[in-house]
């Protein structure tokens, strides 16, 4: 089984990889020495409209996170991906107004291409201080 801990870090240089910050501090979770907590692994690749790709703890699986508008966006995203790549297996899970579309890590580049993964700032490391300013509450 592939280790999914900070899995998206491997896409730094190709896509923009950002951290999910602590909402109370607008910073990384930190240990008692002020260092980024060694267990922190909440990274994502951003897309237009607040859509994100995140890792999961399901073997070899990533997820498209669509928050607060699942009903309209999820179906459109699935249709858009299948228009170009009918062979990409997508599994939709709705939770309230949120949706999660699961897909294989092997299809990451296809999904990123169709959805238009953000590439500006791709070389910026996820832990760079500049990300604290760029990611807001």
Judge contact between 93 and 99, C-beta under 8 A. Answer: yes
Question: Phi and psi dihedrals of 122, rounded to 5?
Answer: -60, -30
Q: Tokens 């922190």 sit at which residue?
A: 40
Alpha-carbon distances, residue 60 vs 15, 28, 91 (angstroms): 19, 26, 13
Q: Considering just the CA atoms, what is the radius of gyration of the chain in Å?
A: 15
Half-sphere exposure of 32 (CA within 13 A, CB side): 0
- H-only helix segments in 69-107: 70-84
Q: Would you state the pLDDT for residue 1?
A: 36
Q: Would you state the pLDDT for residue 133?
A: 61
What is the mean pLDDT for each group of 10 consecutive residues in the chain (137 residues)?
67 88 66 70 83 87 83 86 94 88 95 90 79 55
| Interatomic CA distance for residues 76 and 70, integer angstroms | 10
Judge contact between 91 and 71, C-beta under 8 A. Answer: no
| Interatomic CA distance for residues 102 and 89, integer angstroms | 8
Q: Would you state the pLDDT for residue 129?
A: 74
Count of residues making up the chain: 137
| Interatomic CA distance for residues 18 and 52, integer angstroms | 10
Q: What is the pTM of this model?
A: 0.80
Q: Would you state the pLDDT for residue 100?
A: 92
């Amino acid at each position: 089984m592939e280790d999914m801990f900070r899995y998206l870090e491997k896409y730094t240089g190709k896509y923009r990889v950002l951290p999910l910050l602590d909402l109370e501090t607008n910073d990384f979770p930190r240990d008692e020495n002020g260092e980024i907590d060694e267990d922190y692994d909440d990274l994502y690749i951003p897309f237009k409209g607040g859509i994100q790709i995140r890792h999961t703890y399901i073997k070899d699986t990533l997820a498209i996170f669509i928050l607060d508008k699942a009903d309209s966006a999820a179906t459109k995203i699935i249709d858009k991906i299948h228009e170009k790549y009918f062979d990409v297996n997508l599994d939709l899970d709705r939770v309230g107004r949120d949706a999660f579309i699961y897909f294989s890590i092997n299809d990451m580049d296809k999904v990123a291409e169709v959805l238009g993964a953000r590439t500006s700032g791709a070389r910026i490391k996820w832990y760079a201080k500049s990300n604290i300013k760029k990611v807001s509450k």
